[in-house]
Amino acid sequence: MRIELKHRGLAGIPIPYNIELNEIEINVLDFLIFRKKNSKFIYHKLKNASSQTIQNDSQRVKYLINLLAEQTYVDHDDNPVIGVHYCAATYENNMKPLIELLRNREWKEESIEQYVKTWRNFYRFLTATGVDHMMFMPDTIEESIVEDQEGNFLSHTNYSGKFVGEKETAIEEELKEYKDDYVDSIISMSDFWRLYQHLYALDEVYAVMAFCEFSTLLRVSALVRDFPLTRTKLNPHFKPFSAATRDKIRMQDISYIAKGGKIKKTKLSISAHKIFNDEYINSELCNYEQRYKKYQNNYCKTKWAKKFNRTEQMRFCWLNKNGTPVSVREYQAALENAADELGIKIHSHMMRHTGATQLLWRYLKEHNLTASHTNDLLVADAHVMLQKLLGHINVETTRMYVRTVERMIQAEKLSMLLNSALSVSKKHHDELIKNNKALSNGLSSMERAVQRFEEHMTGSNILDKIKRN
């Protein structure tokens, strides 16, 4: 059997149906409902899932069932079999080969683990509801995890750093890649503006989205879903650029729905807001109102608009030049295609990593700190600031950004960072611009921006130097 999903918007639970029988696959639907409303019925350690997690889980279960439908294997009587129902599938004959298939397709073990965890919970649900099945996976291992508190700037608070985790035994732990910094996930500012220019030529919306992700540190899903065009239910006090300029508001809070469904806040500087306004809303090539008319006149007449229950009265922040609301996947695909054509390594999350690392480095510059101060207690303020802006509960995650700056300093890679352009002497100035034309061209404007934190944070002053085709 194979299933498809009927989506009912981001907040709704997808309806899974058997495409051969054209019937709702009730076991999968019930699993998603319980996963959202009563996860502890499935497993006592599970928390109720957010809408985004429900979307992810539905896709993962669908992927499993459809892979099983295509799978060729040999049964206990040595007979070749094509396709197996998920209730008749076994761990040894079916799931283990699927896991190996994903490895052969060069999936990362961390990604495989997320799929396997969802599959495990699906079969746990079948067991809990009395549905007969043959999937008996190896038991997981509960382990107490105590985070390293050395260098944890918040260890003096009531944060214990201890929790009980569940180790997934159906994957190979030694194949997982462990990272304790983001050095390999930072792009240079010259590459960033090359990317911006390339995306701008394709469609201004992708370029401005990349810039807003970089400057606000939003995850891609929150950027697409929650970045405000004007006042919204989530951001009732948000002011458009003209009003913010009139009222001399240099920084606005943006509320967004974080992982787990919690509402959190990040910051939008007036300089980033200006780029959003000038380069997208009032673009000389295709402004927002032109895009919105295409949305109403063209997109709303398509089957996709009907499928996602989108009407002419709705307003979406991000519309491509055809008037279609930009999806997470469309934005990611634009970045991936740009990366291939430019010959550089880029993925959407690198915008967030680069922005966070630069923000921390600028904090050090603003407070006249040096490489030796990255473990100084003074950095605690920046650490807390990053934790809030990134929406991380786990302080170890934000600590990774501190390590990133430390190791880039040690490896003399700070020329990758925008702030490396801020020379401290004539000799330093000459060393920085030697054999670096892009840096030399942008140096003067960046040094003038050092006193303006918002412009300093975003690097928006370089934007005027981009030559568009």
Terminal-residue alpha carbon distance, the chain: 51
Residue 254, classed as helix, strand or coil, is strand
Buried b (16+ CB within 10 A) or exposed e, 375-396: eeeebeebbeebbebbbbeebe
DSSP secondary structure letter of residue 138: P
Q: How far is CA 67 from CA 99, 104, 128, 216, 259, in A?
A: 11, 14, 24, 38, 28
The secondary structure of 25-81 as a DSSP string is: -HHHHHHHHHHHH-GGGT-TTPPPPPHHHHHHHHHHHHHHHHHHHH-EEE-TTS-EE
One digit per residue, pLDDT tens: the chain, 469 residues? 899 998 775 557 999 999 999 999 999 999 999 999 999 999 988 999 988 889 999 999 999 999 999 987 666 777 777 899 999 999 998 999 999 888 888 788 888 999 999 999 999 999 999 999 999 999 988 776 555 444 443 444 444 455 456 788 888 876 665 554 444 556 777 778 888 889 999 999 999 999 998 888 888 889 999 999 999 999 999 999 999 999 999 889 999 988 666 788 888 989 889 999 999 999 989 999 999 999 999 999 999 898 888 999 999 999 999 999 999 889 989 998 998 899 887 776 777 777 676 666 666 666 665 544 445 434 455 555 556 666 555 555 556 656 655 555 544 444 444 433 333 334 444 554 555 554 444 433 333 333 333 333 344 444 454 434 4
**pLDDT number for residue 82:** 84
- pTM attached to this predicted model: 0.57
**pLDDT number for residue 468:** 41
Beta bridge partners of 268: 252
To the nearest 10 degrees (0 to 180), the angle between helices 204-216 and 328-342 is: 100
Give the Cα separation of 298 and 322 in Å (integer). 8
- Which of 148, 151, 149 is CA-nearest to residue 374? 151
Q: Which residue has the tokens 């009912």?
A: 8
